Amino acid sequence: MKGVMIQGTASDVGKSLIVTALCRMFANDGISVVPFKSQNMSNNSYVTKDGKEIGRAQGIQAEAAKIEATVWMNPILLKPRSNQDSEIVYLGKSLKTLSGKGYRDTFYEKGLDVIKKSLEQLSSEYELVVIEGAGSPVEINLKDRELVNMKVAELADVPVVLVADIDRGGVFASIIGTLELLEPEERQRVAGVIINKFRGDISLFEDGIHWLEKKTDIPVLGVLPYVENHMIDGEDSLSLNNQFSMRQKGNLDIAVIQLPFISNYSDLEPFLYEEDVSIRWVKQASEFGNPDAVIIPGTKSTMNDLKAITDRKLDFLIQNHIENGGYVVGICGGYQILGEEIIDEAGSDTGIVNNSVKGLGCIPGRTIFYEEKETIRAVGVYHENTGLFANDKVEGYEIHLGKTVLHQQGCSFLSLENGKEEGYFGRNGQIIGTYLHHLFHNDQWRNHWLNMIRKSKGLNRKEPIYISNYKDKRYDEIANQMKEHLNFELLNDIISNWCSK
Give the amino acid at 158. Answer: V
| Residue 132 near residue 37 (C-beta atoms within 8 A) | yes
Question: Does the active-site annotation cover 411?
Answer: no
Residue 419, C-beta contacts closer than 8 angstroms, at least 6 positions apart:
none
For residue 191, which of 501, 490, 432, 406 has the smallest C-alpha distance? 490
Which is the catalytic residue, given 23, 230, 321, 332?
332
- CB 254, CB 271: distance < 8 Å: yes
Positive or negative, the CA dihedral 192, 239, 143, 93 is negative
Q: Which of 19, 51, 24, 21 lies closest to 35, judged by CA?
A: 19
Q: Is 383 annotated in the active site?
A: no
* Burial class for 142, CB neighbours closer than 10 Å (0-12, 13-18, 19+): middle
Sequence-ordered alpha helix ranges (H) in 237-313: 237-244, 302-311
Q: Which of 321, 383, 437, 441 is catalytic?
A: 437
Name the strand (E) or helix (H) holding 330. Answer: strand 327-331
Three-state secondary-structure class, residue 248? coil
- Measured between alpha carbons, how far is 260 from 263 in angstroms, rounded to an integer? 9
Q: Contact at 8 Å (CB) between 43 and 77?
A: no
What are the start-end ranges of the H helices in 14-75? 15-28, 56-64
Contact 328, 321 (CB under 8 A): yes
**CB 131, CB 37: distance < 8 Å:** yes
How many helices, marked H, and strands, marked E, lie in the chain? 15, 26
299: left (phi over 0), alpha (psi -120 to 50) or beta: beta
Q: What positions carry a catalytic annotation? A: 332, 437
